[in-house]
Structure 1
């Protein structure tokens, strides 16, 4: 950029949108608020927000068969922090921290899988011999704040005959360490009611809009009773798009009934990075297309995940910017951008979110040619 740039700032912490100028200083970049008249002269279609966070990714590249390089789905796509969702367990976490994390520009945190082996294979909690609560708790204690919580996949193809036992053990480890759970929901058994009734305030349900049999939404888009009870207790809904876990029909009806997700994430991995997920901006654009207001979309990838990760200062925009994402809202009037859900159903949104650049401390990184 030049020495300054006019932007519209979306400030999720202050619940405000205001015009400002990004100014380069000797220490990096800072924002100078401008009047509406000053901003109108520049007429920018450029927005700035705190750095984006993807709360559900798979980036243990080289260890698990589904993981992708963190920077490919992180900083190069406008995302400052990716949270790996259970690719590592207590036995494989040291390798993740030693060999993968230091090589990435993107910041990384991890949900630790209740399975000791993580996602070395994809039936990771189908046998009790693959779970050690004691070692998992110790690994969490030894790896704070890198480990943000405990991940468990609680659906039939993964748990086999174990039912809710992996979830109960994950809950034990999470409560022992004072951290939340991230729980993958999918096909039964166990039923989604059994899963949801075990969750407590601060726990995160990912794949909340999946379209498989047994999802937690009624035909009208209202929550089924177990989900309604969970939401009342403070359980949080996360998109977790994935290759097979996002239905436009379910999402649309839930949004129309007033039930937007708490956080927007991708569940990006090798099987969906080339479609239908691609990156976080694509998932954000889908939610924008279903009527989620832009400030709420931005809050769902900044303030919301920062709250889960216990990063109280993440959204601060005063003084020198520590991390920020710049993006455009592009008019899709030519209907050139076609998005798909996990079943191949198409959506052509009126507007799309296109990341332009990131500010990382003193560094400005352009994302477009």
Structure 2
């Protein structure tokens, strides 16, 4: 008899090619079995709902209380239906220990950090105070970043760097080159944020290696992946062919419907869908992971692909092989989704709206094999 059984839900697990009504059993904190007629000490009837592997938000900012942009991880995870939150460089070498001790180890939801190449991480982020952590190279020490990544190797899954007019300013592309060098020595991928130029997309894309992550990949003009003739830039296509991972990272200013629709028209789906939730974007237009996923359903991406981009693809992007699927023996994390029918006005970062007929809502979370 299992510790917990989710009974009668539509189980969608893209990693296993599974889409059927069946039961899921959890024992000892892990997924134990999938099949009909499972029995458990605790049984949750999820008939009419969708059961997926625990959702993974690949781009969040949850250094709550330690940075000005962080949101409360457990509160956010419950809202967003997530079991794993990848923090995209809120902390740098100078405060990764504080993030670990005061937030990661005290939170119920799983938090996996990418460490910022900048020593203080993202330290000045609000409506009234905004200063790019890579605007001054005195804030970057490659040896310090490498040392911290190695000291926290059990947690850190990548190097985060932000470049662009508002984040690296006069330093332009130099912080990316420094991050790539650290990542090479640490054996980790880089996640790069690119905002308005300089640097230009054409400078960034050729530098990215197989397994590196371009977040904000469907950003609006400028530095959009779409050219003026509405074709995809060659350097973007070449990067995908090379194995670069394309992540949405919606945020407050980094997702455009025009870009997304053009990319989809050319058959270019994002590898990963993520929210880039922080204190500003949680108020809109991103809101959370489920809202971001719902936007892709609204523009024609099938539900199974939206789930794939929020489970197994996200896990693979940061080399987490113990989650992202409901394969027996792996972590006992699952998300129960409800599909709300209606008329919804979805808004992108430019203010453009797109109507949708469905919105995903959180109907429950299983974390570490227990109902959360």
Answer whether TM exceeds 0.5 for this pair. yes
2:367 paired with 1:363: no
Q: Which residue of 2 aligns with 1:38?
A: none
Cα 1:32–1:92, aligned 2, differ >3 Å: closer, same or farther? closer
Query: Which of 341, 345, 354 is matched with 1:347 structurally?
Result: 354
Q: How does 1:304-319 map to 2 (within 5 A)?
A: 304-314=313-323, 315-318=325-328
SS across alignment from 1:174? helix
Count of aligned positions: 355
Q: Which residue of 2 aligns with 1:33?
A: 35
Q: Within 1, Cα distance between the matches of 2:69 and 2:36?
A: 46
TM-score relative to the length of structure 1: 0.91
2:272 paired with 1:263: yes
Cα 1:165–1:289, aligned 2, differ >3 Å: closer, same or farther? same
SS across alignment from 2:272? coil
CA contact (8 A) 2:189 2:318 kept: no
2:333 paired with 1:323: yes
2:61 paired with 1:58: yes
SS across alignment from 1:80? strand
CA contact (8 A) 1:88 1:119 kept: yes
SS across alignment from 1:296? helix
Q: Within 1, Cα distance between the matches of 2:330 and 2:193?
A: 38
CA contact (8 A) 2:79 2:288 kept: no
Residue 24 of structure 1: CA displacement? 7.3
TM-score relative to the length of structure 2: 0.90
Cα 1:230–1:330, aligned 2, differ >3 Å: closer, same or farther? same
Query: After TM superposition, what 4+ stretches of structure 1 lie above 3 angstroms from structure 2?
Result: 22-32, 219-222
Q: Within 1, Cα distance between the matches of 2:29 and 2:57?
A: 27
Cα 1:135–1:330, aligned 2, differ >3 Å: closer, same or farther? same
CA contact (8 A) 1:327 1:354 kept: yes
Gaps of 5+ in 1: 36-41
CA contact (8 A) 2:29 2:370 kept: no
Of 136-145 and 320-329, more deviation after overlay is shown by: 320-329
Q: Which residue of 1 aligns with 2:23?
A: 21
SS across alignment from 2:193? strand
Residue 44 of structure 1: CA displacement? 4.0
Residue 245 of structure 1: CA displacement? 0.6
Residue 212 of structure 1: CA displacement? 2.8
Q: Identify the structure with bigger relative contact order (alpha carbons < 8 Å, sequence gap 6+).
A: 2
Cα 1:133–1:260, aligned 2, differ >3 Å: closer, same or farther? same
CA contact (8 A) 1:20 1:31 kept: no
Q: Within 1, Cα distance between the matches of 2:150 and 2:271?
A: 27
1:68-115 CA distance string (max 9 Å, x none): 111122144210011111111001111101111122111101111110
1:111-145 CA distance string (max 9 Å, x none): 11110010112311111110110110011111013
Q: Within 2, Cα distance between the matches of 1:157 and 1:319?
A: 45
Q: Which residue of 2 aligns with 1:176?
A: 185
Q: How does 1:165-314 map to 2 (within 5 A)?
A: 165-219=174-228, 221-314=230-323
SS across alignment from 1:157? coil
SS across alignment from 2:56? strand
Q: Within 1, Cα distance between the matches of 2:167 and 2:27?
A: 52
CA contact (8 A) 1:150 1:179 kept: yes
SS across alignment from 2:12? strand
Residue 220 of structure 1: CA displacement? 5.7
Cα 1:277–1:231, aligned 2, differ >3 Å: closer, same or farther? same
Query: Which of 116, 133, 136 is matched with 1:124 structurally?
Result: 133
Q: How does 1:53-202 map to 2 (within 5 A)?
A: 53-121=56-124, 122-202=131-211
CA contact (8 A) 1:154 1:195 kept: no
Q: Within 1, Cα distance between the matches of 2:192 and 2:241?
A: 17
Gaps of 5+ in 2: 38-44, 125-130
SS across alignment from 1:326? strand
Residue 174 of structure 1: CA displacement? 0.4
Of 173-182 and 14-23, more deviation after overlay is shown by: 14-23
CA contact (8 A) 2:31 2:326 kept: no
